[in-house]
Structure 1
């Protein structure tokens, strides 16, 4: 083994099982419920191609191919700020930092707020890539249990009093991986607990606009804007390949975040920002979101109907009002990591639930994504899964 030096913070870093599964599931014929991917046939390819062409047209081409301010394209920040304001989180341009996907925003937050050993609270189960960011920061990650309504405020109160956390990380609306949504009452309680125990709230909200049932909820950050950091993205409603997201932060922290981004990449791609701004300025995004909602609603319903037909008695699952995911628990002492090996032999895949759990994992769980395939393909995938279940 080489004796060349490397950073000790890499010792505890784990890979993403979802990213690792992508290679296995790309072989022809596999129906994969593993990736949380938007439906590629719904990308507005023509509209985006035209937006890039306008961004590169004279006289703007010189600007859009040049270095640009770290904070981001002013037109794009204005559009994002207005959409957040319309969702109930009052925002102006200076509240936003454009990031290379919301994942970069999460990395910047971890760098800004976490010293080695700092305590990060997360809802259990939790988004995998968030765990990677906190591991890289050498934080101590402490899970907080929840139920069908989201994270449990009573458990949060008790754990926060004991652990003195630096921050709480949540995907409160259509959570990844469970699809659960934190109720309005619990959002109020969590804001109160954060104020009482003096920790930051980090709200990751990529699925907010993908609501299929029920009434929209105001972002958690609106209840405590002075201690909240909000992560948003166009990946789920425009195109993830553009890698355009944003981070909303209070003035007290924004300057440090900008400096950290300067150190990371100077700025997000100028041309991608310009094209995103062009596209959003000339496209009825709300109309496109309505198409996504209608399509994904049918796919969610197909998955839920099929689960009722192919799973053994005693199986439970979430019934999300939006987002991309359903969380399933099989009865008994099943290990879904072993089940996945059998499922792959039948050309179907999912993500074992233990991958999303920080504490002692419930190995009988799995995450299924429903957005990528038509209802007919979902039905065929579930027939294959039924064979694996035996």
Structure 2
């Protein structure tokens, strides 16, 4: 009743305002209460609605008045062209993976798992506990909470063979998500104008971070079995690069996991050239038929800089990542981190630590593995039946995505438009190439919402491909 009364007053006052001159004073609240036979709360609600619509303004201690109608006029921002000058580096557009979409479409483009694959109960409980603790009012150390540093170090150390020195808490820097970490790494270890080897295709966020820093990317082709060591060796020799960014486990977008032999070959190459391997273990918690096997667990000489994020596996609201780096490089990275972010929210670090140290965390990860396997296989089956020309070069053993090769004559932009018009959003593969695309590709995320619609999605994608 209150809502309908409030709406009735809003409509009546809007009619009065339409004929009133700018600056006209509205009746007092007491007068409006009597006029419309409503409570003061209902009248105040109606006035707040009109203020929010920009029709009236309140002047404390004076009254409420009709606002003057401002005539819209174009603004000339041309002066900024001279002030800004030419961009120092071309910044790519944000990937379609970050698009938000309506609920009535089938989304296969997102870079994040559906909330049904997240430890929601653990996260909510962790936030509640954190709110009662000192983390919400404390400023943490720049390198992070010692307990969380220790957790990241122990996780990697548990995978290292005997004879290698495991990392310790002081080797860890806590970062506000892996994207921030990549920018810090590229800035601190490489620098503007200098070369960085990168798999092609590779994570679009790394390509974006490199562009922001001004790093010069050197693409190294990566096929169904990963990059060829000879190509990596040649690129190091030709460019003098001192770092190689790679995702050896369940790469985004391809889902590739490097073989043991390839891992050893790459380690030998970076050691030979006195270089860093920047290892992005983004999908550590998303193994399906295999577990993540970080190269950092094979190296204690400081050549591998290891980045692991918890954002996708814990919650998008918990942007926390751990960076394990040894030697002088750590001090340089920590200095850059302090300059950019000062520190990571202690509350978010406390939440992350709470979640991953609960006994139910391991149970949750086992459940996620089963769900991802079912989702992946369901989408593969749907595409094989309805879109057989979309070629899947390898079934991913982990991660969140399928990487599909299309016929060269396919107009990829038109295909994404046609699919969207049919009700399914797909990820065009061009965003994942640091240089020109090597072909027509799609990246489809099988961890999004509504897996029951995967069969329909396959049918719609098949129709769009057939239309070309």
| Range of TM-score over shorter length | over 0.9
Q: 2:249 touches 2:293 (CA, 8 Å); kept in 1? A: no
Separation of aligned partners in 2, 1:136 and 1:273: 26
Alignment deviations for residues 335-362 of structure 1 (CA, whole Å, 9 cap, x no partner): 3222101111101111111111123313
Task: Check if 1:388 corresponds to 2:464.
Answer: yes
* Equivalent residue for 1:379, pick from 434, 455, 463: 455
Separation of aligned partners in 1, 2:424 and 2:168: 45
1:330-369, aligned counterparts within 5 Å? 330-369=406-445
Task: Check if 1:15 corresponds to 2:93.
Answer: yes
Q: 1:314 touches 1:330 (CA, 8 Å); kept in 2? A: yes
Aligned to 2:145: 73
Separation of aligned partners in 1, 2:428 and 2:281: 23
1:152-231, aligned counterparts within 5 Å? 152-214=228-290, 216=291, 218-225=293-300, 226-231=302-307
**What TM-score, normalized to structure 1?**
0.93
Residue 388 of structure 1: CA displacement?
1.2
Separation of aligned partners in 1, 2:275 and 2:153: 25
Aligned to 1:5: 83
Separation of aligned partners in 1, 2:343 and 2:450: 37
Residue 364 of structure 1: CA displacement?
1.6
Alignment deviations for residues 354-389 of structure 1 (CA, whole Å, 9 cap, x no partner): 111123313421111101134422112112212212
Bigger shift: 112-121 or 48-57?
A: 48-57
Alignment deviations for residues 210-251 of structure 1 (CA, whole Å, 9 cap, x no partner): 11114x353112333411111101123211221011111112
Residue 275 of structure 1: CA displacement?
1.8
Aligned to 1:245: 321
Aligned to 2:127: 52
Q: Secondary structure at the match of 2:104?
A: coil
* Equivalent residue for 2:136, pick from 64, 67, 78: 64
Q: Secondary structure at the match of 1:342?
A: helix
Structure number with higher relative contact order (C-alpha < 8 Å, ≥ 6 residues apart): 1
Aligned to 1:86: 158
1:108-127, aligned counterparts within 5 Å? 108-127=184-203
Bigger shift: 282-291 or 171-180?
A: 282-291
Q: 1:166 touches 1:200 (CA, 8 Å); kept in 2? A: yes
Aligned to 2:27: none
CA RMSD of aligned residues (A): 1.9
Q: 1:353 touches 1:362 (CA, 8 Å); kept in 2? A: no
Q: Which runs of 5+ in 1 are unaligned?
A: none
Separation of aligned partners in 1, 2:180 and 2:317: 14
Residue 314 of structure 1: CA displacement?
7.3
Separation of aligned partners in 1, 2:333 and 2:89: 26
Q: 1:346 touches 1:387 (CA, 8 Å); kept in 2? A: no
Change beyond 3 A, Cα 1:106–1:83:
same
Change beyond 3 A, Cα 1:3–1:373:
closer
Bigger shift: 280-289 or 134-143?
A: 280-289
Count of aligned pairs between the two proteins: 383
Separation of aligned partners in 2, 1:73 and 1:98: 8
Separation of aligned partners in 1, 2:107 and 2:292: 31
Separation of aligned partners in 1, 2:102 and 2:450: 19
Separation of aligned partners in 2, 1:200 and 1:3: 39
Q: 2:97 touches 2:427 (CA, 8 Å); kept in 1? A: no
Q: Which runs of 5+ in 2 are unaligned?
A: 1-77
Aligned to 2:103: 28
**What TM-score, normalized to structure 2?**
0.78
Task: Check if 1:139 corresponds to 2:215.
Answer: yes
Change beyond 3 A, Cα 1:69–1:375:
same
